[in-house]
Amino acid sequence: MKISELKDGDRVYAQYLVNDVKKSVTGAGKKYMTLLLQDSSGQIEAKKWDLIPEDDEIFQKGKVVSVQAEILQYRDTLQMKVLSGGEVSMAGVNWADFVPNAPVTQKELKAKLDAYIASIGNPDVKALVVAMVDRFGEKYLTYPAAVRNHHDYVSGLLYHSITMADLAVKVCEVYPSLNRDIVLGGTIVHDMGKTIELSGPQATAFTLEGKLLGHISLGQAELRECAKELGMFAFDSLPEEQKTIDHPLFAKKEIAITMEHIMLSHHGKKEFGSPVLPLTREALAVSIIDDMDAKMMILDKAYKGVEKGGYTAKIVTMDDRYFYLPTYSSEGEVPGTSLEEELEDLKD
């Protein structure tokens, strides 16, 4: 039975991926496990109260387990009470059954990525974006954008970036003072550090680099390396008397630096993890677009299972607010625009 289909009182015999494990002790000194189990339809918190010695080996993060369990309603949220569990051979696991995927196929996302890159007019911006895409290859196409909260599924990083690109080209049409190539390029590369920060699509966790350095600084370092390899910092080797903003090499360095600035400032505020605040129009635009896309995706997840006229559970990442679902709402629609629509727009 899929997690999205579970109801209070259900008896479950199914296989799930262990996304997280925490060991705790009750006030009476009894050990128990809190598990985060998942399949392709969603996640559920589970408790294993009566532990046996084998449980430490069975319930490990990243493993698929077979469970017998009961579903209970606890504080307005479904919870699973695991009665027993068994190991499942990882050799025959079909990961598509256990890992959620982006609502748009990877093939279509890749086609849109290629179309957007092809539409970048500035050759230096295009070369830098292409170098970053080539640098991370399959990881950029398959990694999630987060451990939890938003775009936490296979190809979530690419989906997040392409949805932002969808927004970026529209925003640049409304505000022609924005440099479209820089904004579009910024949306594509802004989160690429997550391919180093995170462990991958299955049972996603933070790597050592992710915990100690974070995706923003990791991404900026990679972008700087790509820019250097493309010769975008040749300006620095000029004699001092030639180092003026009129020199053609200055424009290349300026593009590299402003793209790095977008990466460093895209969280918008220092308390949200950005070491610098947005200080160009393009950086500000990317940070606003990033925040909007993340929040809309968080709301899409929170509204799942909520009936019209009802409220979501408290959303911790959005100031502990409960959001109301109006009767006019249209749930289930995939955000973003189609490849055909974008290709038509790109012709104009």
Helix (H) or strand (E) holding 17: strand 11-25
- In this structure, are residues 274 and 282 in contact, taking their beta carbons and an 8 Å threshold? no
Residue 63 neighbours by CB under 8 Å, 6+ apart = 17, 18, 87, 88, 90
How far apart are the C-alpha atoms of 40 and 204, rounded to whole Å? 14
CA 307 to chain centroid: 26
pLDDT of res. 344: 59
Closest alpha carbon to 102 in 112, 93, 117:
112
Give me the residues of the chain with pLDDT under 70, please. Answer: 148-150, 331-348
CA within 13 Å, CB half, 89? 2
Q: Which helix (H) or strand (E) holds 74?
A: strand 64-74
In the numeric block, the tokens 């006030």 are attached to: 27
Specify the amino acid at residue 36.
L
Say what the pTM is. Answer: 0.78
- CA atoms of 159 and 141, how far apart (whole Å): 9
Tell me which DSSP letter residue 92 carries.
Answer: G
Please state whether beta strands 64-74 and 11-25 pair in parallel, antiparallel, or not at all (unpaired).
antiparallel
- CA 329 – CA 308 distance, rounded (Å): 7
Contact status, residue 306 vs residue 326, Cβ threshold 8 Å: no
Pick the CATH number of 3-97 from 2.60.40.790, 2.70.180.20, 2.40.50.140, 3.40.800.10: 2.40.50.140
Looking up tokens 């022609």 gives: 176
CA-based radius of gyration for the chain: 23
What is the C-alpha to C-alpha distance for residues 305 and 233, in angstroms, rounded to an integer? 52
pLDDT given for residue 345 in this prediction: 56
Sequence spans of domains, the chain: 3-97, 106-303+332-347
Residues in the chain: 348
In degrees rounded to 5, what are phi and psi of residue 86? -140, 155
DSSP state of 224: H
Residues 6+ apart with CB under 8 A from 251: 124
SS3 162: helix
H or E element that contains 42? strand 42-48
